[in-house]
Chain A
Amino acid sequence: MSAILEVSGVTKRFGGLVAVNDVSFSLAAGEIAGILGPNGAGKTTLYNLLTGFIPADEGSIVFQGRQLRGVSPHRIVRMGISRTFQLCRPFVGMSVLENVKVGGLAQPAPPEGRDAHAHRLIAQVGLSGKEDMPAELMAYGDQRRLEIARALAASPKLLLLDEPFAGLGSGEIAELSALIRQIHADTGLTVLLIEHKLHEFMKLVNRVIALDFGELIADDVPERIVTHPRVVEAYIGGNVPETEAA
């Protein structure tokens, strides 16, 4: 398993605020890793750096051996990085099928054809039968699945999920978690996941990268992370994450 993503010494400042401070880690192909951190720790900023929406001030980001600095967001998607967002934002006024199809338009047409590809993804996320529903009318849990299908439509090698469990009830969280695990198992995709909801999160990932105030404070397996002194300090000092998804 080679490193699909290498982040080295990445720093991002917004004026006087250092949002991401000298963060380094690497992801092996096929991992599911999680990013943990209280609000303001720099998690979403990190995603924005990875997807090219903001330029890093220092450091390098190498994806599949290619340097990402200075590459436009479109090209980064085409290179194989897709992301979802904290708030579900489906294309309003379009059906589920159309939403997923648009997700794939940045890439050349797959051999099975765009329609078949989209249908397959919709089935994969468990939305079969809902292809023609207006996206914005679906239940939030279904919209989350749509987001994932749409991100998968671009045939990514690396999937960045930003708080996929936000706004879901405990049953839905368990289902979505199972879905993510299933997709990972089926496709061997590398998945990076930001979450607050520790309980499900810990069961899903095999590695946790913890951030606090933009710094990487721990990088370890879930069992050791929860007892890591700096992680505990970060959380006791600030927001206590939900450890029980009751």
Chain B
Amino acid sequence: MDYEQRYKLAEWVMDYTLSSGADEVGVDLVRAEELDIEFRDNTIDKLEQGIQDLLYLEVYRDNRYSAHKSNLLDKKYLIDFIDNALNTTMYLEKDLFRTLPDKTLYPEKAEYDLQLYDNSYSMLNNKDKISIASNIEKASLSLSEKVIASTSSYSEGCFHLIKMQSNGFRGDKYSTSYSIGAEVTARDDNNDLCEDSYYAHTRFFNDLPSSEKVGKEAAERCLKKIGQNKISSGIYTMVVENSEASILLGMILSAMKGSSLFLRSSFLEGMKGKRVASERLTIIDDPYIRKGLRSNYFDSEGCATQKRVVVDSGILKEYYIDTYYGKKLKMKPTNGERSNILLEYGANSCEELFAKAGEGIFITEFIGGNFNSTTGDFSFGIAGFLFEKGRIVQPINEMNITGNALRLWNNLIEVGNDPFPYSSVQTPTLVFKEVFFSGD
């Protein structure tokens, strides 16, 4: 189906559902194309390609609500699908809070092109894509004989959303995405293995780093781990690498959601306007970054997005509230989910932060662990490096950090100037004081 056919289909689904008894209807029609290439041992390991067409239907009927998904988009199937959706809805208990968003929250005209679609998409042939993956592997393997395996990859995708809500919203979004990377394994003189990886995700092909840079970065990260060991348990200053820090920020962002607040399972309940972190932390939610991985003029409900400071110098300013939980919590809807996350960055590079901190542990990888959103308690496995006098002295692994999110973020003492560019959460290097590490 081309664009026009898909648009007409979405309109037909909405009209049919309304005429069959729904009071309000939301329709998303999604097309996603994906290509993944994996390369190792100088040959293609996997080449996978496919196109998905999915229909999401939200039905509001007699103060009842249900949602449905199907990839059978022929009208002969859709009639049954919609009839069943309407019937299922009528079995459910009433929920007076379920409605489409207030239509005044829908966006007006877009101010500028967010540049989410790369017009060069699909112009590269598969041979060139394979050679990108091949060059990544070559770059990894060329760094040292200790590198015994590198699985490199090239992925690209094209995504098109048509979104309609029966109280007036019409929107669509075209976007592309690219990803290249490598997973590298090295063997040391004792025959022990270690591994690491490096990936870059972008909206535009030309913004990808070179194959050589990615291959070498993955191999260097892996080789630096050789000789890793655990060290004594204790309280250390913790420096977190820019590409990893988003896991710690995620503890705050997930607890800001309206659903967590309503279910009484957020450690940030009642904290709006209060200190949740040291004054070094300012979090900006910015949906309008050009080429941003989560940029959008409307959110998943169709509501207009907005740039805002959600934590200002450590003070919690906003929650993420959608229409449903806004009504249940008697709060004004903001947006129900985050977009791109930026911090107010500091003045120092990662190396300068080592020098300032003197000694501590530099975390380059989180491994498993979890976080209790109700209490803020967390415990994560880690790997990284011990540093002393501002210089790395030993790779470490098989250790845990344990604590509470509020205490951790109040112990944030430095924010770097080096945001990680290949993520929608662009955290820089962060430094925390007094973190408990368990090891030997």
Q: Do A and B come from one complex?
A: no
Query: Could you list which residues of chain B lie within 8 angstroms of chain A, going by C-beta atoms?
Result: none
